[in-house]
Amino acid sequence: MDSFSTLIRTASQEQHVEAETSTFMSDLLGGRLGVDAYARYTEQLWFVYEALEAGAERLASDPVAGPFVRPELFRLAALERDLEHLRGPGWRATLNALPATRRYADRVRECAERWPGGYVAHHYTRYLGDLSGGQIIRDKAEKTWGFERKGDGVRFYVFEGIANPAAFKRGYRELLDAVNADELERQRIVAECKRAFALNTAVFRALGEEFPLSA
Ligand code: HEM
């Protein structure tokens, strides 16, 4: 039987391709969008990580979610530095969530408060993605909009406390395989992971509508 980390990856593979090839992501990675689109996207991430990390401290002692809560993953401070760079010192006053982002963050918060297994699904979907494809986005963003390498504007993608991302991901998959959940709960976690991907894709769709290409 496949390990849980393999199961969760293969179960979300199709949706991963969908997120990766969404119009907004394709345009972003294709260098076809202005820095304002990137800033708007970064703002949306702020709401998601605020929801993920506000509940993290309380979950640190939870038997299911606790092992996943690692301070070296926390992204909110990095996002805030990026937003200050992208939007200026008044970034907080104009920060606002798209309805799709609101739905995503609400679901993350709900899981953080009531269902540790669901929180693990959201945790996996974001942080393992950021450690993987996030690096491709960073590289592209640096080249397209001229951010300093690993500097302000792309700090979200730079995990300063993780020297070896490949090793960290291996360790993370071991945590998934050992997650304190029975078969049924594992199935529910996989289903929540799919939901997490769908929530992400909905945000991309909304961003795509906000930043259509004229060409
Ligand atoms: C253009 C956008 C994206 C690109 C280019 C991309 C690329 C990648 C690549 C190359 C990997 C494999 C890393 C490895 O095997 O170690 C990966 C893994 C992953 N990505 Fe993405 N990705 C993108 C978007 C996303 C999005 C939007 C999400 C979800 C929010 C996501 C979630 C994940 C997850 C959870 C993994 C880990 C899979 C596993 O090994 O269990 N990715 N991504």
Per-residue pLDDT of the chain (215 residues; tens, 9 = 90+): 789 999 999 999 999 999 999 999 999 999 999 999 999 999 999 999 999 999 899 999 999 999 999 999 999 999 999 999 999 999 999 999 999 999 999 999 999 999 999 999 999 999 999 999 999 999 999 999 999 999 999 999 999 999 999 999 999 999 999 999 999 999 999 999 999 999 999 999 999 999 998 55
Sign of CA dihedral 49, 54, 59, 61: positive
Measured CA to CA, the distance from residue 118 to residue 37 in angstroms comes to 30
Spacing, Cα 60 to ligand 1 middle (Å)? 25
Q: For the stretch 157-178, what's the b/e string if a residue is b when 16 or more beta carbons lie within 10 angstroms of its beta carbon? A: bbbeeeeebeebbeebbeebee
Q: What is the pLDDT of residue 118?
A: 98
The two three-digit tokens of residue 97, written as one number: 């969530």
Sheet strands (E) in 12-100: none
Measured CA to CA, the distance from residue 28 to residue 23 in angstroms comes to 8
State if residue 179 touches ligand 1 by the CB under 6 angstroms criterion. no
- Atom 13 (ligand 1): residue with closest C-alpha? 132
State if residue 201 touches ligand 1 by the CB under 6 angstroms criterion. no
State if residue 77 touches ligand 1 by the CB under 6 angstroms criterion. no
Question: CB under 8 Å to 44, separation ≥6 — which residues?
Answer: 97, 98, 101, 203, 207
Q: How far is CA 104 from CA 51, 74, 151, 158, in A?
A: 9, 18, 28, 23
State if residue 200 touches ligand 1 by the CB under 6 angstroms criterion. yes
Question: CB under 8 Å to 30, separation ≥6 — which residues?
Answer: none
State if residue 154 touches ligand 1 by the CB under 6 angstroms criterion. no
Sheet strands (E) in 78-183: none
The two three-digit tokens of residue 205, written as one number: 């769709």
The percentage of residues in the chain with a pLDDT greater than 70, rounded to a whole number, is 99
CB of 170 within 8 A of CB of 62? Answer: no
Question: In testing the pocket of ligand 1, which one of 125, 132, 157, 169 has its CB within 8 Å of the most ligand atoms?
Answer: 132
Measured CA to CA, the distance from residue 56 to residue 69 in angstroms comes to 6
- Atom 20 (ligand 1): residue with closest C-alpha? 129
3-class SS of residue 143: helix
Q: What is the pLDDT of residues 110-145, one digit of tens each?
A: 999 999 999 999 999 999 999 999 999 999 999 999
Q: What is the pLDDT of residues 59-82, one digit of tens each?
A: 999 999 999 999 999 999 999 999
